[in-house]
Amino acid sequence: MPIMSEDILLPEGAGEKQTTTLNLGPTHPATHGVFQNILELDGERILKATSTVGYIHRAFEKIAERRPLYQITPLTDRLNYCSSPINNMGWHLTCEKLLGVQTPKRVDYLRVIIMELARIADHLICNSIVGVDSGAYSGFLYLMQYRELIYEIYEEVCGSRLTTNIGRIGGFERNFTNTAFEKLEKFLKEYPEQLNEFEKLFKRNRIFMERTIGCGPISAERALNYGFTGPNLRAAGIDYDVRVHTPYSSYQDFEFTIPVGTTGDCYDRFLVRQQEMWQSLSIITQAYKKVQEFKGQEAEVYHADTPAYYLPEKKDVYTKMEALIWHFKIIMGETAIPPGEVYHAVEGANGELGFYLISDGGRTPYRLHFRRPCFIYYQAFPELVEGGLLSDAIITMSSLNLIAGELDA
């Protein structure tokens, strides 16, 4: 039975309107979860986009005000969950900066290895998802196999695959095992091959290039004004990298270049991420070499010597009173935290991941703010897609690498 037009209540003025309003998300497959975009379409061309976020807002900053420092590490895991080790390390580095803890070189290099692995894990997801959203699914699964390998390395080091909770203030919770290094070697050997193959699938494929070139472009000035950082800013042509500008964790000891694009479109972002993966591989190789150079006693160092913040060894806890007292103090969060404020940034997979920590000397932070790169550059999304087609919006969204956990915190 056909429905008469008067049965349907149309919004005011719908009869005259020549455009369509399309609700993209929150459960649309390409929004990877949780962004809502209300698009005003003329045919398939986007006239206006309005984005809504906050669908997985979890009140990290409020939780952090109730937790001692070490308990915040699991929270940072869940910021950008594709590369949680970077967040973990960023948080530990922030704490170390506030507490004045000096880490030994070996710890720095191990951290660099883990962070760069995380960067690769993140970039490979992002780039292969760009492939998936443009319709080619296989490349995604090829690269995912190597992400499994990265996860195996994490698992060997910290016992978990994704939300790693890796590292402690002052170092790692345990030394890297030989298995971990073997897996790392395997990864270093096999991954470049696969990455090359992935590039062959996409990099010079005209269909892919036409889909991405000129899609969601942004100029360097606008990108800066919008607070872009990380690969997205570099794709726009600005060689800003926290690892180079404010080196942390001994990044100054490594040779690497900053890949930059020119137009800031999806293809540039793709290429920049691709190139960064190569750079990361080279950094890992260098760091691994440096780690191997430590011999004897030095090769056993995996944490800083700070009894006030790093848990004593278990067997001492079982037997020695002093160690037990420190143990209790650290777990209860009673060790002295100097009052002060500190901002520390690391180069997260998506850009400058900053931690602004204000301490009033209590057992928990007085205020902790995460500078989440995603959240800041997502506001440019309407500007990026307006004037493009619906398909462009989808590719742009995936090539920005929006991670909901980071965006909404």
Partner 1 sequence: MSRPVQYNPKVKFQGIPEGYMGEGFMATSFEKVVSLARKNSIWPLPFATSCCGIEFMATMASHYDLARFGSERVGFSPRQCDLLMVMGTIAKKMGPVVRQVYLQMAEPRWVMAVGACASSGGIFDTYSVLQGIDQVIPVDVYVPGCPPRPEAIIDGVLKIQDLVHAEGLRRRNSDQYKELLAGYGIQ
Partner 2 sequence: MQPLTNRAQAVNRAPLTWWERIYLPAIIGGMAITLKHFFKKKPTINYPEKTRPFSPVFRGLHILNRDEQGRENCTACGLCAVACPAEAITMEAAERLPGEEHLYREEKYAARYEINMLRCIFCGLCEEACPKDAIYLSETFAPSDYQRKQFIYAKNDLLIPHPEKEPEAYKKALGNRAGKKRSEIG
Partner 3 sequence: MSQLTNEQIRVALIDKFGDVFTEWSEPLGMLTFAAPKDMNLKVLQFLYDEESLSFRFMTDLQAVHYPDRIGEELCVVYHLHNMRDNVRIRFKVYTDVQAPDVFSTTALFAAANFMERETYDFFGVNFVGHPNLIRVLNVDEMDYFPLRKEFPLEDQTRVDKDDEMFGR
Q: What is the distance between the alpha carbons of residues 31 and 43, in angstroms, rounded to a whole number?
A: 21
Residue 143: strand, helix, or coil: helix
Residue 346 CB, shortest distance to partner 3, in Å, is 13
Q: What is the distance between the alpha carbons of residues 288 and 292, in angstroms, rounded to a whole number?
A: 6
**Among candidate residues 147, 160, 153, 146, the one with its CA nearest the CA of residue 176:** 153
- Tally Cβ neighbours within 10 Å of residue 340: 13
Selected range binding partner 1 among 76-84, 213-221, 240-248, 379-387, rule: CB under 8 A: 76-84
Scanning residues 30 to 69, which ones bind partner 3 (CB under 8 A)?
53-54, 57, 59, 61-63, 65-66
For residue 329, CA distances in Å to 96, 233, 361, 366 come to: 18, 43, 15, 19
Residue 250 CB, shortest distance to partner 1, in Å, is 25
Place of tokens 């913040």: 309
**Among candidate residues 404, 346, 362, 339, the one with its CA nearest the CA of residue 85:** 346
Selected range binding partner 2 among 39-47, 198-206, 339-347, 351-359, rule: CB under 8 A: 198-206
DSSP 8-class letter at 47: E
- Tally Cβ neighbours within 10 Å of residue 4: 7
Residue 228 CB, shortest distance to partner 3, in Å, is 8
226 binds, among partner 2, partner 1, partner 3, none (CB under 5 to 8 A by kind): partner 3
85 makes contact with partner 2 (CB under 8 A)? no
Choose between 57 and 245: whose C-beta lies nearer to partner 1: 57
246 makes contact with partner 3 (CB under 8 A)? yes
331 makes contact with partner 2 (CB under 8 A)? yes
26 makes contact with partner 1 (CB under 8 A)? yes
Selected range binding partner 2 among 236-244, 294-302, 336-344, 353-361, rule: CB under 8 A: 236-244
The β-bridge relationship of strands 36-42 and 45-52 is antiparallel
Residue 367 CB, shortest distance to partner 2, in Å, is 18
366 binds, among partner 3, partner 2, partner 1, none (CB under 5 to 8 A by kind): partner 3
Q: What is the distance between the alpha carbons of residues 140 and 198, in angstroms, rounded to a whole number?
A: 9
34 binds, among partner 2, partner 1, partner 3, none (CB under 5 to 8 A by kind): partner 1
277 makes contact with partner 1 (CB under 8 A)? no
Scanning residues 226 to 245, which ones bind partner 3 (CB under 8 A)?
226-227, 238, 240, 245
242: CB partners within 8 A, 6+ apart:
229, 248, 345, 346, 347, 352
C-beta of residue 406 within 8 angstroms of C-beta of residue 389: no
308 makes contact with partner 2 (CB under 8 A)? no
Residue 396 CB, shortest distance to partner 3, in Å, is 17
363 makes contact with partner 3 (CB under 8 A)? no
H-run or E-run covering 371: strand 367-371
Q: Which two tokens stand for residue 359?
A: 């301490």
Q: What is the distance between the alpha carbons of residues 119 and 49, in angstroms, rounded to a whole number?
A: 30
Q: What is the distance between the alpha carbons of residues 242 and 90, in angstroms, rounded to a whole number?
A: 12
Among 17, 245, 305, 387, binds partner 2 (CB under 8 A): 245
139: CB partners within 8 A, 6+ apart:
128, 131, 198, 201, 202
206 binds, among partner 1, partner 2, partner 3, none (CB under 5 to 8 A by kind): partner 2
Among 366, 389, 390, 391, binds partner 3 (CB under 8 A): 366
Q: What is the distance between the alpha carbons of residues 358 and 356, in angstroms, rounded to a whole number?
A: 7
221 makes contact with partner 2 (CB under 8 A)? yes
Q: What is the distance between the alpha carbons of residues 379 and 382, in angstroms, rounded to a whole number?
A: 7
Residue 132: strand, helix, or coil: helix
200 makes contact with partner 3 (CB under 8 A)? no
Which residues form the interface with partner 3 (CB under 8 A)? 53-54, 57, 59, 61-63, 65-66, 97-98, 222, 224-227, 238, 240, 245-246, 340-343, 345, 352, 354, 356, 358, 366-367, 369, 371, 375-376, 378-380, 408-409
Residues that bind partner 2 (CB under 8 A): 67, 70-71, 73-75, 77, 138, 142, 145, 148, 152, 155-160, 163, 165, 173-174, 179, 197, 200-201, 204-209, 220-221, 237-241, 244-245, 256-262, 267-268, 271-272, 274-275, 311, 314-315, 317-318, 324, 327-328, 331-332
